[in-house]
Every structure is written in C-alpha cells, then in structure tokens.
C-alpha cells in the first residue's frame, strides 16, 4: 500500500478496463464458494446421526435450500471482506458491487450444489472427530476438482467474449444465464439423490 507508483499503474489499467474488477471479483467470490467446504461436507458433518433427517417432516427441497443458505452465510463474510478491500483501494464502483454480489452469489450456489451432490453421493459418516468430516474428507478435493473445471470453462468463455469486444452487460447476462441454468440443472439430480439416500439410510 506504500508503493504509490504501483497503485497508479493499477488504477490506470482499471480505468481503461473498469469491468475487470467486476469479473475478477465475481470469479473470486465463486472460488470462495468452492473452497469454503461448507456445502461439500454438509451431509458428512451429520455423521451417524444423518438417518435422523429422514424421520423429520422436512422435504428434500427444504433440506437443500437450508443447506445452501448456511453455505452462503459463510460466503457473505468473504464478500464483505473482498468488497471492503477493493473499496479501500478505490478500485470499485456501485455498479461493480452490484454485479459482484449478484453473479458471485449465483456462482457460489452452483459450487455449493456441486459439492452437495458429491457429498450426498458418498457421505463420510463414520468419524470420531468432527474435524475429520471437513479436513480429512475426500469429497472436498473431488468437489474442488469438479468446481475448478466448471469455473475454468466459464472463465474461458468470459475471456473469449471480452476478446470479441462484446458489450459488458451482454457478458454479465451470459454469465448470469449460465449460472441460473446450472443451478436448476444441478438441483434436479441433487433432489433425487437426497431422496434416494434418505430412503437407504439405516
């Protein structure tokens, strides 16, 4: 922060390409959704008590909704820190904040659902230490791998659209559409997996 020359150079780049802050911020928030491990361990953390969930009058869609919200709560902390840091450096506008929050949250929901699919498909329920469910859970690495491939594909598309000189609002629209379609597309198999696994649990 004491190197004014570096900050001036960075400010000049951002002034020429103001949308870069938004796109990088969206990507960063989405990465946080992949790395916070809350979604991809949501069922494993229940341990041997997961069978109790099927005895409760809670529908699968409500289970999914509640678990996604718990992951997004952690995400919100990361978003506040990110936006606060960028605002401190005076590199962000109100419009950028809007797009980072909206598209970042949509991307985070996709990452959470991917992790939940992996975790419900192969939950780690036999553990004697709560930390094992998160820190020694292979589901976390699998989810990160799949999420990285997804995010790489979306990022590659965004770079291509930028190179083609597409309007930034059009790019935001494409990213939003991809995230929304992905959310719905992942919700369907996730709901079926939750219902099936809860029936098989003993």
- Return the exposure string of 80-111: e unless at least 16 CB atoms fall within 10 Å of the residue's CB, then b: eebbeebeeeebbeeebbebbbebbbbbbbbb
Q: How far apart are CA 45 and CA 156, in angstroms?
A: 34
**Three-state secondary structure of 14-50:** HHHCCHHHHHHHHHHHHHHHHHCCCHHHCCHHHHHHH
pLDDT at 13 over 70: no
Q: How far apart are CA 107 and CA 119, in angstroms?
A: 19
Mean pLDDT of 45-59: 77
Which of 34-43, 70-79, 85-94, 179-188 shows the lowest per-residue confidence on average (mean pLDDT)?
Answer: 85-94
Which of 1-15, 121-135, 141-155 shows the lowest per-residue confidence on average (mean pLDDT)?
Answer: 1-15
Which of 10-14, 169-173, 190-194 shows the lowest per-residue confidence on average (mean pLDDT)?
Answer: 10-14
Q: How far apart are CA 37 and CA 115, in angstroms?
A: 8
What pLDDT shows up at residue 1?
46
Q: How far apart are CA 179 and CA 170, in angstroms?
A: 14
pLDDT at 180 over 60: yes
Tokens of 40: 């991809």
pTM of the model: 0.87
Q: How far apart are CA 150 and CA 130, in angstroms?
A: 29
Rounded to the nearest integer, the mean pLDDT of the chain is: 84
The residue to which tokens 């696994």 are assigned? 197
Mean pLDDT of 12-39: 79
């Amino acid at each position: 922060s004491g190197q004014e020359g570096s900050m001036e150079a960075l400010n000049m780049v951002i002034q020429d390409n103001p949308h870069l802050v938004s796109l990088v911020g969206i990507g960063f928030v989405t990465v946080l959704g992949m790395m916070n491990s809350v979604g991809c361990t949501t069922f494993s953390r229940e341990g041997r008590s997961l069978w109790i969930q099927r005895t409760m009058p809670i529908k699968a869609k409500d289970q999914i909704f509640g678990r996604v919200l718990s992951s997004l709560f952690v995400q919100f902390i990361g978003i506040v820190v990110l936006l606060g840091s960028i605002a401190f450096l005076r590199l962000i506008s109100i419009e950028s904040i809007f797009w980072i929050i909206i598209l970042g949250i949509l991307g985070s929901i996709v990452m959470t659902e991917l992790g939940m699919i992996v975790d419900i498909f192969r939950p780690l329920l036999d553990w004697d230490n709560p930390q094992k469910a998160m820190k020694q859970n292979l589901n976390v690495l699998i989810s990160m791998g799949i999420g990285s491939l997804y995010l790489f594909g979306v990022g590659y598309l965004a770079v291509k659209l930028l190179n083609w000189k597409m309007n930034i609002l059009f790019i935001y629209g494409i990213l939003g559409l991809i995230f929304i379609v992905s959310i719905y597309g992942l919700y369907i198999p996730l709901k079926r997996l939750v219902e099936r696994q809860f029936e098989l649990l003993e």
